[in-house]
Chains A and B, each alone.
Chain A
Amino acid sequence: MAKKIMVVDDDPDIVEYLVSIFKEKGYETCSAEGGEGAMEMLERERPDLLTLDLEMPEEWGPRFYRKFSQKPEFKDLPVIVISGLAGIHLAIRKAVATVSKPFEPAQVLEIVEKTIGKP
């Protein structure tokens, strides 16, 4: 069964973009634009990796991270921060990598492969 990547970003265009990159490479995906649905999806889908946009309205990104990382089952879930700003990744210390927008798809895929291996 292919490894699953969950994409969280409030911009649907970017969600679509990331999803298509990962899909083309052979990963399974799921996505959320934030809100309560993201937590539900996380628990239901149990992804192997999460890409998270931190700059969503009302600081939703960091709060979402704190919430799920406190749960034992998601404690070790690798997170790639995809952010428009440098420095913001400090909010999430355990992030495996921080990728700035606009990003190179190859770079993101490389990090993903390094972290969770090929699909």
Chain B
Amino acid sequence: MCMDVLLVDDEAGIRKVVGITLADMGHKVHLAANGDEALEVFRRERPPVVLTDIRMPGMDGLELLRRIKEESPDTEVILVTGHGDMDVAVQGLKLDACDFISKPAGPEVLEIALKRAADKIAMRSRMRHYTENLEELVRQQSEKLVGLERQSAAKEAVEGLTQAMGGLAGEVAGEFAMFNALPCLVSIQDRDQRVISVNRLYRERLGDRVGQPGFAIYAGAAGEGLDSPVARTLRTGQGQKSREGLFGPEESLTAVTVHTAPIHSANGQVDLVLEILVEASEVQRLQDELRTTRQRYQQLFDEAPCFITVQDRHLRIQAANRRFRQEFGPATGGLCYQAYCGNDRPCFGCPTLKTFEDGQPHQSELTVRGKDGQTVNVVVWTAPIRNALGEIEGVMEMATDITELARMQDHLASLGMLIASLSHGIKGLLTALDGGVYKVNAGFRTGNQEMVQSGWEKVTGLIGRIKGMVLDILFYAKKRELQLRSMDARDLASQVAEAVVPKAEQLGVVLNIEIDANLGVFSVDEVVLSAALVNILENAVDACLEDKSKPEHTVSFRARPDASGVFFEIEDNGIGMQPDTLARLFSVFFSTKGSRGTGLGLFIAKKAVDQHGGRIGAVSEPGQGSTFRIWVPREQ
């Protein structure tokens, strides 16, 4: 134990003796003869222990004690007195004196008193140390706590941000889930550019860099830390946007767009920096992909070989593809059954309504009406469209045009009918032919010239019919390519008229021919078209024969030009047709002539006109007559 000790006494002898004793004990001794001097020395040397006489001229020991304790409470003061004076001793202790010893102070007493002072000092120092330690501990812990708090707040911010971005991206991208993984690497860095928190993608791509310098991921100057985006943000206090190179796997470099935003603390200084990295190429790629996918869907939607609509519960059309719009007009917002059928109420057994009811796909076959009034046979499939909650929000309806298929089915059915019908017809004709031959033979046998004549006429007529029928069958059974030739329409019309003149004359029907002199030229298959026209003209003559109500019958054959084609009209005042006959007029095997007709004539006539890209139609009044109108374009 070795201390600085200030010894204060007005008696020089005592100062000397005690001073030597203290020095012998190993202490460094400072001497003062009175209070003022003592304070002076104390202020200069700052000794931890002061040993002072109480009775001194001027400032006494108690006053000195009080003043030292004022200036330095930790200094230990030992009071020394000449005789036992308890009052003074009590006063001294009240003033926080360390000890109280009597004169003459021997070495043992001094040693004990000084040791006590030293212990007190040591204890106080330890106490102080403990206290200070505790404070440091509390400070350290609080700092740690604050740090954690800040980190978790930052993490929350990052997650919130990522979520917000995801949500935003979700909104932008609609149902495309890939955008939920928006390619943003987000981190929050502190003032030392150390990473505090990162988002999932950052961790996946660059590793968990929490605690490491945030700029280390960059190539070039930004990777140095002085010119990184975060450093610039810290320096300027402003958000930054720049393009940087990012070290990728295998030394590759990726271009990224870096956005930073300062996060200010309460005192207004930039405390944290938010850094968002967006891979430029990735964004471009995703945008491209999205665009192509959308285009592909749109294309699929539009180009699918069927009519697609999306409908709500009231069968209001929400969306319609291009083919639907082409065939049924721009019906978006309209009602399905109005657009498809022109009906006031949903179709019977509507598959879309069924799907709304049970959530299952349904199918049905319907006949609908196109924009131009043409009937279209469709097969309808439906499928529910559900929202995120699984509720049926709409129904997609796909209608496939099977008109052509239905036509083919008809054709196949017709072929079956053909066999039945024709075999009957041909057998009937052959039987009748037998009858004619029988009559001729009987005439020869009996020498009855008239009978031979009449039988032969029958045979000739029947052979004509058989020939016509065989030609019809051949035409029907085999698809004949048109052999188009440019010709004067007037020539064709005249030929047709001439072909019918003998029959009309023979049967006493007036044939009225009105052919415009300037019919012009058109490009047609002469054989096919004239056969069709002759067929209709012959029908007109037949219709006159059937009618017994009028004394005179006339068939008019008119031909006149129009801008883009030639118009033919065949009008008779024959028996006319009932509405149901008119409706089935051009269908195959429909005949009003019983076993005399094949039911092919008008069917073939229509086919011929159709092949030429023309139009054929008929109007009729029962008992009054019929009119057939045919229009053939000049060019196909």
Interface-side segment among B160-168, B423-431, B564-572: B423-431
Given that A10-B595, A11-B595, A13-B462 are contacting pairs, would A101 and B428 also be in contact in the complex, using a CB cutoff of 8 Å?
Answer: yes
Given that A13-B458, A17-B435 are contacting pairs, would A56 and B594 also be in contact in the complex, using a CB cutoff of 8 Å?
Answer: yes
Least distance between B470 CB and chain A CB atoms (Å): 16
| Closest partner residue, chain B, to A88 (CB atom) | B424
> Contact at B436–A13, with CB atoms within 8 Å?
yes
Q: What residues on B are CB-neighbors of A16 within 8 Å?
A: 435, 439
A14 interface residue per 8 A CB criterion = yes
Task: List 12 other contacts, CB 8 Å, given A16-B435, A102-B433.
Answer: A13-B432, A13-B436, A17-B431, A17-B434, A17-B439, A56-B595, A84-B425, A84-B428, A85-B420, A101-B430, A102-B427, A103-B431
Chain A positions 29-81 with a Cβ under 8 Å from a chain B Cβ = 55-57
B438 interface residue per 8 A CB criterion = yes
Chain B positions 455-512 with a Cβ under 8 Å from a chain A Cβ = 458, 462
Given that A55-B595, A56-B594 are contacting pairs, would A11 and B428 also be in contact in the complex, using a CB cutoff of 8 Å?
Answer: yes
Q: What residues on B are CB-neighbors of A21 within 8 Å?
A: 438
> Contact at B431–A105, with CB atoms within 8 Å?
no
Least distance between B458 CB and chain A CB atoms (Å): 6
CA distance A101 to B427 in the complex (A): 5
Query: What is the total number of residues of chain A having a CB less than 8 Å from a CB of chain B?
Result: 20
| Closest partner residue, chain A, to B439 (CB atom) | A20
| Closest partner residue, chain B, to A17 (CB atom) | B435
Q: List 22 A-B contacts (CB under 8 A).
A: A11-B432, A11-B595, A13-B432, A13-B462, A14-B428, A14-B431, A14-B435, A16-B435, A16-B439, A17-B435, A17-B438, A18-B435, A21-B438, A24-B442, A55-B424, A56-B595, A84-B424, A85-B427, A101-B427, A102-B430, A105-B434, A105-B438
Given that A20-B442, A85-B423 are contacting pairs, would A13 and B435 also be in contact in the complex, using a CB cutoff of 8 Å?
Answer: yes
> Contact at A84–B423, with CB atoms within 8 Å?
yes
Q: What residues on A are CB-neighbors of B411 within 8 Å?
A: none
Given that A13-B462, A17-B432 are contacting pairs, would A84 and B438 also be in contact in the complex, using a CB cutoff of 8 Å?
Answer: no
B596 interface residue per 8 A CB criterion = yes
The residue from A17, A24, A85 contacting B424, defined by CB atoms under 8 A apart? A85
Given that A11-B595, A57-B594 are contacting pairs, would A101 and B431 also be in contact in the complex, using a CB cutoff of 8 Å?
Answer: yes
| Closest partner residue, chain B, to A57 (CB atom) | B594
Q: What residues on B are CB-neighbors of A57 within 8 Å?
A: 594
Q: What residues on B are CB-neighbors of A101 within 8 Å?
A: 427-428, 430-431
Least distance between B305 CB and chain A CB atoms (Å): 42
Q: What residues on A are CB-neighbors of B428 within 8 Å?
A: 11, 14, 84, 101
A-contact 0/1 string along B616-634, CB 8 Å cutoff: 0000000000000000000
Q: What residues on B are CB-neighbors of A102 within 8 Å?
A: 427, 430-431, 433-434
CA distance A55 to B594 in the complex (A): 9
Q: What residues on B are CB-neighbors of A13 within 8 Å?
A: 432, 435-436, 458, 462
| Closest partner residue, chain B, to A16 (CB atom) | B435
Q: What residues on B are CB-neighbors of A100 within 8 Å?
A: 427
CA distance A11 to B462 in the complex (A): 12
Least distance between A98 CB and chain B CB atoms (Å): 13
Least distance between B33 CB and chain A CB atoms (Å): 161
The residue from A11, A24, A105 contacting B596, defined by CB atoms under 8 A apart? A11
| Closest partner residue, chain B, to A12 (CB atom) | B432
Q: What residues on B are CB-neighbors of A84 within 8 Å?
A: 423-425, 427-428
Query: Which 9 A-B residue pairings sit nearest by Cβ, starting from the closest?
Result: A17-B435, A13-B432, A84-B427, A84-B424, A101-B427, A102-B430, A101-B431, A102-B431, A57-B594
CA distance A81 to B290 in the complex (A): 76
CA distance A13 to B596 in the complex (A): 10
CA distance A24 to B433 in the complex (A): 18
> Contact at B594–A10, with CB atoms within 8 Å?
yes
Least distance between B77 CB and chain A CB atoms (Å): 147
Q: What residues on A are CB-neighbors of B436 within 8 Å?
A: 13, 17
Least distance between A116 CB and chain B CB atoms (Å): 22
Least distance between A9 CB and chain B CB atoms (Å): 9
Least distance between B544 CB and chain A CB atoms (Å): 18
A-contact 0/1 string along B557-576, CB 8 Å cutoff: 00000000000000000000
